[in-house]
Amino acid sequence: MDLPRSFVIREGDLRILNPFDADKLATLGRAVKLAPGTSILDLCSGKGELLCTWARDHGVVGTGVDISSAFTAAARQRAAELGVAERVRFVHGDAAHHPVGEPVDVAACVGATWIGGGVAGTLEILDRQLRPGGMALVGEPYWRIDPPDQVTVLGCHASTRDDFRDLPGLVGLFAELGWDLVEMVLADQDSWDRYAAAHWLNLRRWLDDNPDDPLADELRRELTEDPVRHVRYGREYLGWGVFALIRR
């Protein structure tokens, strides 16, 4: 059980594996008014930057779960670097089937709602982990501009226009599912650039060092095609944000 090696290569030394920079992550932590001792379960925790920096800055405690052994190892190293290893722990496992434990104050799934087959299913997973009145954090794409055709949809790594909603539609979905939206922090085009372009440099450095690797042809195609796809489609049409929700 692990992610394909290409994911690890693409993400390289990135600490936040979404179009969210450190300032926006810090803004989110302040916006949801984290108190010392707040317990957090972070499903699909990546390299653990959310838990580690919030443990350092706000005194939270918690657990991160991720299917990538490489990302989990990086998260543990980051916790040690920041001196918060006694406050947070990271588990290599399937976040979609993480067992329900002691209810937590905050349950997060930032940028990986595929674990529940979409927003609705992911909120069900998070709700099972929350104490009454607890907060869910969901990171999700949305259409910033309505895509005019299927070529644009595919250029945004979607299969159909219905894969995402526009921002009012996404906010409306939260309400339909019985959740109050109480905070949000949205990515911007620079956030997308910083995330996407970092991949290109990681890929190029890896290709220079590994020209004969079996993955080289696949990742060379990605590096050739992705910059044009990003500037033509992704950064223009696709938004992304983290939404804080409390069950009604």
Q: Are 137 and 32 in contact (CB under 8 A)?
A: yes
Domain of 26, in residue numbers = 5-141+163-188+239-247
Domain count, the chain: 1
* pLDDT at residue 244 greater than cutoff 80: yes
| pLDDT, average across residues 8-19 | 96
Mean pLDDT across the chain, nearest whole number? Answer: 97
**pLDDT tens, residue by residue, 109-131:** 999 999 999 999 999 999 999 99
200 assigned to some structural domain: no
Residue 142: count other Cβ atoms within 10 Å of its Cβ.
Answer: 19
115 assigned to some structural domain: yes
CA 142 to chain centre: 14
231 assigned to some structural domain: no
205 assigned to some structural domain: no
Residue 218: count other Cβ atoms within 10 Å of its Cβ.
Answer: 11
DSSP state of 118: S
135 assigned to some structural domain: yes
Q: Are 25 and 49 in contact (CB under 8 A)?
A: yes
Which tokens hold the place of 159? Answer: 């299969």
**pLDDT tens, residue by residue, 27-83:** 999 999 999 999 999 999 999 999 999 999 999 999 999 999 999 999 999 999 999
Q: What is the reported pLDDT for 118?
A: 96
Q: What is the reported pLDDT for 144?
A: 97
**pLDDT tens, residue by residue, 142-152:** 999 999 999 99
203 assigned to some structural domain: no
* pLDDT at residue 1 greater than cutoff 80: no
| pLDDT, average across residues 188-201 | 96
199 assigned to some structural domain: no
Cα separation, 35 vs 28, whole angstroms = 13
* pLDDT at residue 165 greater than cutoff 80: yes
Q: What is the reported pLDDT for 2?
A: 87
**pLDDT tens, residue by residue, 16-41:** 999 999 999 999 999 999 999 999 99
232 assigned to some structural domain: no
3-state secondary structure of 49: helix
Q: What is the CATH number of the domain that holds 121?
A: 3.40.50.150
15 confidence band (pLDDT: 50, 70, 90): very high
